[in-house]
């Protein structure tokens, strides 16, 4: 075999190998061919975390609206919640910008973890707004029921026909139910607002559940108190006496 023939074969072999590599590169995803493995994964990770951030920001905006309409929330609690919502919106907006500029999946995953652990929008912030409103409403209801009790007691004193032991027992139960409701939610607003976000979701959930349970208990106590008040009121109306009508 001549040197010229060997050279030609060598060139043909090199061309064939080059063609194989070219075909292989064309068959691979663009990011792999261009030497950028993981580009698709990075894009997907960014999209997922960005969607989570967008949803949380939307929720926080809705919570701001809800808080603005909750007229019975005490000023101190309102101030704390207003500051929290504004701070979280700023923080999550900044994190959204950070995610857009990340260059690795690991960095985006870290941002996703921060989105959850550092803010806890669904697990903690939303319950803070909802439960603070509920607790405020229950406190207000307890105060009103105390006034109702006093008014009914005064009417009974003026209406001998309605001033029965049964009605006195109902008023006593009313007072007991209101006291039970007060005891159930005593200090819960402060405890709720003091809760902080963090990586231990189970502990946060348990704390919120405890406060939510107390609010539910108080709500049931107040419903019983309302029922007592209605029975006494109806009894006074049914007597039809002058003293009852004047009350």
pLDDT of residue 69: 94
Structure tokens at 201: 């979701």
Q: Are 129 and 63 in contact, with CB atoms under 8 Å apart?
A: yes
Q: Per-block average pLDDT, block size 10, for the chain (247 residues)?
A: 41 37 36 56 97 98 97 95 98 98 97 98 98 97 97 94 95 98 98 98 98 98 98 91 45
pLDDT of residue 131: 98
pLDDT of residue 180: 98
- 154 burial (CB, 10 Å; 0-12 / 13-18 / 19+) is exposed
Q: What is the DSSP letter of 187?
A: T
What is the Cα–Cα distance from 134 to 77, expressed in whole angstroms? Answer: 12
């Amino acid at each position: 075999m001549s040197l010229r023939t060997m050279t030609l074969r060598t060139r043909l072999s090199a061309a064939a190998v080059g063609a194989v590599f070219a075909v292989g590169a064309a068959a691979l995803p663009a990011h792999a061919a261009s030497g950028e493995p993981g580009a698709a994964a990075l894009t997907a990770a960014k999209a997922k975390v960005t969607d989570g951030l967008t949803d949380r920001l939307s929720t926080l905006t809705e919570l701001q609206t809800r808080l603005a309409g909750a007229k019975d929330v005490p000023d101190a609690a309102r101030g704390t919640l207003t500051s929290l919502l504004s701070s979280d919106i700023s923080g999550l907006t900044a994190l959204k910008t950070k995610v857009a500029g990340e260059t690795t999946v690991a960095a985006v995953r870290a941002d996703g973890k921060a989105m959850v652990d550092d803010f806890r929008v669904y697990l903690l912030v939303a319950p803070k707004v909802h439960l603070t409103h509920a607790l405020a409403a229950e406190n207000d209801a307890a105060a009103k029921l105390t006034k109702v009790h006093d008014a009914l007691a005064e009417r009974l004193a003026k209406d001998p026909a309605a001033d029965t032991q049964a009605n006195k027992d109902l008023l006593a139960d009313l007072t007991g139910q209101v006291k039970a409701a007060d005891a159930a939610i005593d200090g819960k607003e402060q405890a709720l607002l003091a809760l902080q976000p963090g990586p231990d979701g189970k502990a946060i959930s348990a704390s919120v559940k405890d406060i939510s349970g107390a609010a539910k208990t108080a709500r049931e106590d107040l419903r019983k108190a309302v029922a007592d008040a209605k029975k006494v009121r109806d009894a006074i109306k049914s007597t039809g006496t002058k003293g009852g009508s004047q009350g």
